């Protein structure tokens, strides 16, 4: 059972005590992602820069401080948020929170570090471009959510990264890194009184002021097709369909549908496309949910000559799903796989911390394991057919292909 408290400056702290654990995970969640940026990639760039030194510690000292706890310190940026998190043994919670608080409040953003990090991020962009599977998903969302912040690349472009300045970083921090736009989440074995005292000490003095993030507009889902040719051998196919947001009850029948349709080795698409037809090595489906929308994607990595046959099979399987739904056996198998995934995925302190932070930041609540399992178990065959109709029946899809150059 989780608890929520509010620090003196308005910062929410969500925490869950796990007495059986010998570790603790803490995360600082900021509602700052590529969706709400004025300068493309600045949220991701700031994530990098917070590891480059504070008023009291160099980049090396930040790393050494965490090494002394025997734990891990990391961060990542998404389209909607940035999170900085640690995992340590239970008796190192103080050191962990002190370090996270120092990074959030006291990072110095030296001009020399900024210029060096621009080179690092530029190389990261090149790495993504050299990974066709990553690139096809990025391009899919760029085109499906065209003219909306959700379509922006998380890393930004080379041009936008080069345009980032220290003043721009400080302005973004001042607008987004404020208590009303952040959540501190902690899960593991700790004393509640100690946690709240440490949270107040290291985060309670962040200045309380309104967030200036601008209006978040729900995107229109664009349909169509885009083909990018590169010097690669294998084609990458991604067909995206408009999906539900993270608060929608449609998520639960969609989870069951996804698992049976393309979510594993026993799924229909894997069996038809890889096992029976030998058309692709990699084939799967995935669900991405955002605050107010989502995208359901069918992916296949295959040879160029197999593209059209694979698309034909995908369309035929979608038609079969819409007309027949899933068998009782498929639904039961999908539920058991989801149940195992939820239970096994929720065993670590890190997963509990993430569920707390993301849930409170984006929706104001946390969907606990028992609630998720109950919702999944209640899904019926009719629910799956209804979900399939909403996802596939609307005709709202975008196809992105990254393939080898035509010879």
Dihedral (C-alpha) 141, 143, 147, 148: value to the nearest 10 degrees?
-10
Closest residue by Cα to residue 351 from 369, 365, 334: 369
* Residue position matching structure tokens 């099979």: 313
277 to 4, 281, 365: CA distances (angstroms): 52, 11, 44
141 to 54, 149, 290, 403, 406: CA distances (angstroms): 35, 10, 12, 17, 25
The C-alpha atoms of residue 158 and residue 41 are separated, in whole angstroms, by 9
Q: Which of 16, 37, 47, 141 is flagged as catalytic? A: 47
48 to 154, 174, 238: CA distances (angstroms): 13, 17, 29
Which run of H or of E encompasses 359? helix 349-363
- Establish whether 319 is a catalytic residue: no
Dihedral (C-alpha) 24, 10, 77, 214: value to the nearest 10 degrees?
170
The C-alpha atoms of residue 33 and residue 79 are separated, in whole angstroms, by 5
Catalytic residues: 47
């Amino acid at each position: 059972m989780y608890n929520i408290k509010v620090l003196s400056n308005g910062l929410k702290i969500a925490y869950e005590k796990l007495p059986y654990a010998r570790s603790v995970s803490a995360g600082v969640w900021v509602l700052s992602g590529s969706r709400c940026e004025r300068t493309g990639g600045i949220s991701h760039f700031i994530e990098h820069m917070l590891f480059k030194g504070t008023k009291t510690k160099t980049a090396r000292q930040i790393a050494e401080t965490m090494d002394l706890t025997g734990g891990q310190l990391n961060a990542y940026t998404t389209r909607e948020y940035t999170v900085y998190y640690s995992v340590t043994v239970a008796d190192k919670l103080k050191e962990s929170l002190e370090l996270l608080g120092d990074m959030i409040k006291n990072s110095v953003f030296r001009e020399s570090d900024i210029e060096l990090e621009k080179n690092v991020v530029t190389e990261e962009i090149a790495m993504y471009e050299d990974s066709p599977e990553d690139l096809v998903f990025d391009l899919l969302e760029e085109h499906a959510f065209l003219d909306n912040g959700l379509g922006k690349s998380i890393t930004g472009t080379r041009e936008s990264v080069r345009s980032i300045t220290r003043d721009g970083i400080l302005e973004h921090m001042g607008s987004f890194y404020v208590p009303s736009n952040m959540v501190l989440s902690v899960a593991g074995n700790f004393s509640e009184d100690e946690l709240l005292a440490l949270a107040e000490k290291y985060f309670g003095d962040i200045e309380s002021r309104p967030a200036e993030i601008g209006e978040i507009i729900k995107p229109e889902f664009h349909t169509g097709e885009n083909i990018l040719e590169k010097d690669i051998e294998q084609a990458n196919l991604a067909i995206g369909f408009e999906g539900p947001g993270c608060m929608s009850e449609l998520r639960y029948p969609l989870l069951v549908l996804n698992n049976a349709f393309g979510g594993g080795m026993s799924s229909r698409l894997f069996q038809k496309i890889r096992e029976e037809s030998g058309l692709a090595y990699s084939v799967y489906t995935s669900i991405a949910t955002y605050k107010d929308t989502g995208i359901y994607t069918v992916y296949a990595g295959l040879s160029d000559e197999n593209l059209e046959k694979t698309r034909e099979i995908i369309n035929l399987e979608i038609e079969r799903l819409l007309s027949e739904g899933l068998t009782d056996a498929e639904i039961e198998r999908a539920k058991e796989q989801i149940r195992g995934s939820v239970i096994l995925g929720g065993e670590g302190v890190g997963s509990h911390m993430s569920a707390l932070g993301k849930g409170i930041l984006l929706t104001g609540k946390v969907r606990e394991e028992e609630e998720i399992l109950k919702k999944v178990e209640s899904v019926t065959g009719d629910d799956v057919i209804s979900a399939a109709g909403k996802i596939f029946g609307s005709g709202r899809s975008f196809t992105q292909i990254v393939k080898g150059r035509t010879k």
